[in-house]
Chains A and B, each alone.
Chain A
Amino acid sequence: MRRLLLALLLAGVVAEARESGFVLMSPETQAMQRDDTANPGMLWVEEGRALWDSAGCAGCHGDVAGMRGVAARYPAFDAASGGPIDLAGRIAQCQEARQGRTPFPRESEEALALSALVGLQSRGMPVAPPEDPRLAPALARGDALYRQRRGQLDLSCAQCHDANAGRHLGSSPIPEAHPTGYPLYRLEWQGMGSLQRRLRNCMAGVRSEPYAYGAAEYIEIELFLMRRAAGMPLETPAVRP
């Protein structure tokens, strides 16, 4: 509980001057994100729109516009597993439990497309993580993971993204690590990717062994980061260099 209070307090302190990685980008890349006809992420959104009907989502959920605000509330508490679940996990769970089909694998184009489509419905809305006391243990673990030194470089997330945010690592500016635009189109990837893919990049960057896709640790870190980014506007599908 003390750790949770500390995290909330910290989020409050950071709240004064938080900024999205968007502001660190070149004007050209910012323009690419702003313009839906130039944002390559919209290709995945279109793919998601087609899947929304063909994969049967529309049968229960109706028009996808009804998903407005949903992405802003994740990760949420999942009664079935007794822990937090992220949006991609919820979509997969829906496919498996309610549709009785094999879910699209994590990080597949289809899974990213559906997440991007649902995420887009909440674009511009403030991140609003659920105030669910059952999430407190996972939130505390996410906080600890964020501060845990790891890898051969012995660096924690906080050492770059809190202590040195806004400075440079090589030629790249270090953002504050607010996951407000996922899944996003990264120019370096030349494709769409989830927050987990981004976290794996950072973990490999400090030469530590990344967790497998879908690992509980990623969702705990996401839970912590989304709490830390509470109130910031969602940007999905964002573009990053």
Chain B
Amino acid sequence: MARTLINLPRTARRGEVIEIRTLIQHVMETGYRPGADGVVVPRDIVTRFTCLYNNEEVFSAELAPAIAANPFLSFSVVAAESGILAFTWSGDNGFEQTETRSLTVT
């Protein structure tokens, strides 16, 4: 399991725009670099990130080889209703990780 840091408020007023920041530990190996033995290291990157808000996709991103290790993503959503936000990173070698956070809307 990769380590993640997810920052969002626990509570928000209805209609408020909240900022969500995510960071995941990942090498983001480009697939273009030769290793110490001269052989190209195979690509190993996160290719897709999605954020589901009560099972509805509110944000997604496609990631590419030129993105640095431990990708940091920041985005905003409108706090519509209380519920669960699910963050999923998926990528090469069957990498997939989902983290969830709850949000209370008042």
Contact = CB atoms under 8 A, between A and B. Distances in A.
Among the interface residues A37, A44, A47, A187, which one has the most CB atoms of the partner chain B within 10 A? A37
A40 B3 CA distance: 10
Given A43-B23, A43-B25, A47-B3, A38 B69 contact: no
Contacts of A102: none
Interface of B: 3-5, 7, 21, 23, 25, 27-28, 68-70, 72
A37 B20 CA distance: 10
Interface in A186-207: 187, 190-191
Interface residues of A, number: 12
B68 A46 contact: no
A140 interface: no
Interface of A: 36-38, 40, 42-44, 46-47, 187, 190-191
B42 to A, nearest CB: 17
B68 A187 contact: yes
A187 B71 CA distance: 12
A43 B7 contact: no
A46 B5 CA distance: 9
Contact of A43 (B21, B27, B70): B70
A37 B7 contact: yes
A191 B68 CA distance: 10
Given A37-B21, A37-B23, A38-B23, A43 B5 contact: yes
Contacts of A38: 21, 23, 72
Contact of B69 (A42, A47, A190): A190
Given A43-B3, A47-B25, 9 more contacts: A38-B23, A38-B72, A40-B25, A40-B70, A43-B5, A46-B3, A47-B3, A190-B27, A190-B69
Contacts of A47: 3, 25
A187 B72 CA distance: 13
A190 B3 contact: no
A44 B27 CA distance: 13
13 contacts: A36-B5, A37-B7, A37-B21, A37-B23, A38-B72, A40-B23, A40-B72, A42-B5, A43-B25, A46-B3, A47-B25, A187-B68, A191-B69
B3 to A, nearest CB: 4
Nearest to B68: A190
A40 B70 CA distance: 7
Interface pairs A-B: 6 shortest CB-CB: A37-B7, A190-B69, A43-B25, A43-B3, A40-B70, A46-B3
